């Protein structure tokens, strides 16, 4: 529980540092991207602290390219 509190505290601190700079005209897209990535990072860090199962992106990539690999495998052997 303290780990989640610490992660949220660091996230709020980072937001307080960066958001005022990104609220200037012309930085709207940057603010949106920053906010999305910050929320995603905080969510993953909290899940990690709470020992939730987090899937490995490498597994998703392998599952995506497995049919292609299986199709070309006979040609390469």
Quick: pLDDT tens for 44-68.
Answer: 999 999 999 988 889 889 889 999 8
Euclidean distance between CA atoms 77 and 72, whole angstroms:
9
**What pLDDT is recorded for position 21?**
93
Total domain count for the chain? Answer: 1
Angle at alpha carbon of residue 66, lines to 61 and 71, rounded to 5°: 145
pLDDT given at position 27 = 92
Predicted TM-score (pTM) above 0.85: no
Over residues 16-47, the pLDDT tens digits come to: 999 999 999 999 999 999 999 999 999 999 99
Containing structural domain, residue 63: 2-76
Does residue 69 carry a pLDDT above 90? no
């Amino acid at each position: 529980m303290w780990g989640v509190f610490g992660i949220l505290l660091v996230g709020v601190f980072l937001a307080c540092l960066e958001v005022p700079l990104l609220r200037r005209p012309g930085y709207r897209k940057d603010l949106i991207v920053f906010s999305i990535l910050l929320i995603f990072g905080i969510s993953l860090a909290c899940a990690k602290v709470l020992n939730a199962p987090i899937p490995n992106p490498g597994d998703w990539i392998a599952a995506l390219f497995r049919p292609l690999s299986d199709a070309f495998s006979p040609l390469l052997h």
